[in-house]
Amino acid sequence: MEFTNFNPGLVPNDCDGKSCFLACSQMVFRTKPGLRVPSLDELSAVINRRSGRYSWEYGMLAYFYENGFEVRFLSLFDLERFTLEGSFYMHEFFGDEAAQDQIENLDMELAIKSTRKFLESDGVQKTRKIPQLSDVRDLLSAGFYLVPYVNQRILQADAGYVAHTIFIYGFSSRGVRIHNPGPPATEGSEIAWDLFDKAWSSPRPESRILFAIRPSDTEAGTCP
């Protein structure tokens, strides 16, 4: 089986190499006809992101909802605990290597502020579970676009951990169809299911995070 939602095209990462989620966000905005796509600077302001730092996505999820998107968040990540325990909880949830990568590249105070804003939003469906590959197929088939956390080093066949997000718009029996904002940016590639699962499950399957977004007035995509 092959399934593809509308392809909004690739948006490459910014020159700082740390704007992958903002690039994915612009791709999401492109999926809603007639909606102006905010600039990277405008999206940075939404989540109080500072130049050269990682994005912390949760404030953006509420912004998607406010702009006419249906949004779902699937993960065991305890947002309430994060707002109370910050770095300590990140080490517990992600493990030391993955947590340290994010902590060193985040503004923790602003990340907690963004998470609190997200928790106040009643427009985002929050599901406490380990998302599965079956969720990926089911959500894509229902017209959602997916933005998962992955370990970029695994996608590049390197050792170590670097937090990254990619944009998934379809799948086949072979794997998921993605735009990778990079660096290096890759348009319309297909990642084998086992490689995607390995990168998504790093450092462990329990740490998987999945954001699912679709225009609230759009039907599911195409099934060739």
Spans of all domains in the chain: 3-215
DSSP string, 67-127: TTEEEEEEES--HHHHHHHTHHHHHHHH-HHHHHHHHHHS-HHHHHHHHHHHHH-SSEEEE
Rounded distance between C-alpha atoms, residue 121 and residue 135, angstroms: 23
CB 5 within 8 A of CB 167: no
pLDDT tens string 84-103:
999 999 999 999 999 999 89
- What pTM was computed for the model? 0.93
Element (H, E) at 175: strand 175-180
Residue 218 CB-half CA count within 13 A: 25
Q: Would you tell me the crossing angle of helices 108-120 and 58-66 to the nearest 10 degrees?
A: 40
Interstrand relation of 3-4 and 186-192 (parallel, antiparallel or unpaired): unpaired
pLDDT tens string 159-199:
999 999 999 999 999 999 999 999 999 999 999 999 999 99
Report, in angstroms and rounded to the nearest whole number, the Rg of the chain calculated over CA atoms: 16
Give the residue-averaged pLDDT of 33-54: 88
Q: How confident is the model at residue 218 (pLDDT cuts 50, 70, 90)?
A: low
Give the residue-averaged pLDDT of 207-212: 97
Question: Superfamily for 3-215?
Answer: Cysteine proteinases (3.90.70.10)
Give the residue-averaged pLDDT of 61-81: 95
Residue 65 has pLDDT above 60, yes or no: yes
CB 221 within 8 A of CB 143: yes
